[in-house]
Structure 1
Amino acid sequence: MATILLSVVFILGLIISGNYLIYDFLNLGYDRIEKILNENKELRTQIATLTDKFKQLKSDVEALNAQGDQFRMLVDLPRLSKDELQLGVGGNILNFDANKILYSGSSILDSINLMIDQLSREVNLQKESYNSVLNKYNYNQKLFASIPALKPMDGYYSPHGFGKRIHPVLGVYRVHEGLDIINDVGTPVYATGDGEVEFAGPSGGSYGIVVIINHGFGYQTLYAHLSKVLVRPGTKVKRGTMIAKSGKTGLVSGPHLHYEVIYNGVKKNPIDYFFDDFAINQYLKNYSNKNQNN
């Protein structure tokens, strides 16, 4: 009996070996298995290549994140926080590993789609961030052009002219809410920032003839004791536009320009807005040269 069993096993072994050697004539599936193994090997190679490409894309996106943070700081925007980054991409970007995908039983297609989705979310987040940077840059350009940042007229002024002082005509202590710049009647007076003329003409009070400019962003400037106005309400002006001539109208002891800076309704010391006492003529020359170069 044992001899018969050994003979059967031997014969089966010969048949199987022969089947393998002569290309699976019994159709036992060796070719299919080998084909599947080869396809599996090729698939792993392709996924490994895809993994390398994904890692490079991920590195590029991280570089964009870092560069985007620098741009945000340049325009006075905060960095994107980790919470914002994770919220924008739907959590941490997965580690796309070829071996884990092949042997974890997970769907390769699902993993690839998740990778693409997360990368797309992060790219979209950076696009939104760059749009915010651009919008803030444009906002800043308008803001900086509108801030009253020049001395409006050539002449002498006291650095202590703002605040409580003895009124030169009335001889009593009063709060002086601006700065007096002394020069001859007829000296040109210039707008100190971009804006729109809100009032131009006699004030009906101690300020005499006045021009008021609304610069937006909470800023206004007032120019008083003028002899002549060169603009009218509604006129759009640029920084350096001549708007009036100085004078001595109103309650004054001599010819000068009374200049005020108002921010959100509060009178500010104009000296704080002078750009190192940058002379108006120097500004106009530099501005003209800049436009010619452009």
Structure 2
Amino acid sequence: MNRSKMLTEGALFTAIYIVLFLVAMLAPLIGVLAMLLLPIPFIVFASRYDWKPSLLVLVATLILSALFTTVFSAPITVLMGLGGIMIGSAMYRNLSAYETWARGTVGFVIGLVLLFLITQLVLDVNIVEQINAMIDQSMEQSQKLMEQFGLTDQAAEQLALVEQQMDMLKNLIPVGIAVISIILALVSQWLSYKVINRLENKDYKFPPFRNLTLPVSLVWIYFFALIFSFFELDPNGTLFLAVSNVLMLAGLLMVIQGFSLIFFFAHQKNKSRVLPILSVILAVFVPFLLYLVRILGIIDIGFRLRDRISEEKK
């Protein structure tokens, strides 16, 4: 390994990150795009030199970003750096696209958890309390608005229902972290594929969505969480929180598997791509259909349904 080249590229990608961060902070119109590009320097560097040198680049980036921007950039830099390094390291090891996506998701989960801890312990900002305060303020404003229109009786019932739903959402913060991490990893990996393919003339790409197959262990995790959900658990207890989040996240993954099966079936039967795409759109607008798609995902993983579809085609 050319150490001089590695140091040069490390400095270059650090500078690129700082420029992108400044653009994200100072240019609102293109700031969102710049924010999505923040993991790319770490991904490209880690894909070439693996995770150990990349951690040194992350430390250097933390120091320089604090000097050139603000100390408040540290949580964002940790988040983007860890997610990017996990994706790049997986690419360095020539893992499959979906394995790389999974590792990137883990990196962003760790980054988001550290972001919570840094903002609370170092910056003295409790994100959960901020969310609770925003919800309480919104509830108060809604109550006053309904009272102004003379809807006092209806307001009590409506607000009680909304408050119950808000409490449920508070308990699902871990699922929110996981979903955000999944999306961040997917977008970052897709963008990095485009960049690396252009820079290094490679052919990184995601395999067709119809080939996505989640591990069988996910069915058992979902099954046991479902059983625990039938027991009367303390709504404020840790077990209730864990079961609710596991059930929600596993159910979401089953839905993704179900949609993958629909795309696979359409491909095997030589149907138009429009049909599975329409099924996704329809399910979004008719939530009940998501339950049916989830059942399809469970059957596909547990009973190898797509294998039987393939055999029928033969």
TM over 0.5: no
- Alignment TM-score, normalising by the size of structure 1: 0.21
- Alignment TM-score, normalising by the size of structure 2: 0.21
Which protein shows a greater Rg?
Answer: 1
